[in-house]
Amino acid sequence: MADQSLLTAAVLGLLEGLTEFIPVSSTGHILLAGHFLGFESAGKTFEVVIQLGAVLAVLGVYAAKLWAVFSTAHRDPKALRFIVAVALAFFPAVIIGVLAHDFIKTVLFESPRLIAVNLILGGIVLLFVDRMAAQPRYEDAMDVPLGTALKIGFIQCLAMIPGVSRSGSTIVGALLLGVSRRGAAEFSFFLSMPTMAGAFAYDLWKNRDVLDSGAMAEIGVGFVMALIAAVFVVRGLLAYVSRHGYALFGWWRIVVGAVALLALSLGF
């Protein structure tokens, strides 16, 4: 039984790493997969905490750029502004995430039908925005103005509803606010680091009393698998969306949501 649980955790960790940075809702995917696989984590902490594994992939891939930004911030206004922009974009998630945490975990995370519907609706929005987004005014993630970053941060909070997608909401918001496809994805990468680190720490602290050794083993396996898978996604995503846009991910969401709704209607 324990081996089966760890195998399921590995599969869900792999799924998390593959979907965290593409706009398809990694949380929605692993909650639906967990539902159909009969996987129940203590306090729904597994689904949140393993996301930090995917975030460490960004740290690894962008280590040189992060070092360049932070090491020059004291003398480079552009680098300092970028740090402030990411911090501003992160701020709304701190406030709303803390206030709505219990409702999100006990109500929204327990609604697979809602997740499936959100996948479909989000896919339709992504297809529309990818086709109709404004002419880019900001090609690079580091060019995003502070006011625009704060707006993206508020839009990111929609992703607290599972099935909406954190990367999807930030990318759609950035596209609508004049950021290029590549710049939108890259800004989403950098914003994921404080957002997911904060969610990891807060959720682990909130559920510290219900996590036993079995739960920690599942989290460890899922964490490692998410990290490994996410490295490959982060390396390839920017090149892909620069050439092809986000339409593939819109259709992906619609198909997954529709299949999930059908399965739920059949009693699975």
Residues 36-63: tens digit of each pLDDT: 988 877 666 787 778 888 888 888 888 8
- Euclidean distance between the first and final Cα of the chain, in Å? 21
* pLDDT over threshold 60, residue 1: no
Residues 216-244 have a mean pLDDT of: 88
Confidence at 259, pLDDT banded by 50, 70, 90: very high
* pLDDT over threshold 60, residue 211: yes
Closest by Cα among 93, 73, 24, 77 to 233: 24
Closest by Cα among 100, 90, 118, 96 to 31: 118
* pLDDT over threshold 60, residue 25: yes
pLDDT of residue 2: 60
pLDDT of residue 248: 94
pLDDT of residue 102: 79
- The answer to whether 156 touches 173, Cβ cutoff 8 Å, is yes
* pLDDT over threshold 90, residue 145: yes
State the number of CA atoms in the 13 A half-sphere of 249 facing the CB.
30
Question: Which is higher by pLDDT, 103 or 68?
Answer: 68
pLDDT of residue 4: 72
State the number of CA atoms in the 13 A half-sphere of 26 facing the CB.
31
pTM for the structure as a whole: 0.84
Most confident of 132-141, 176-185, 195-204, 254-263: 254-263
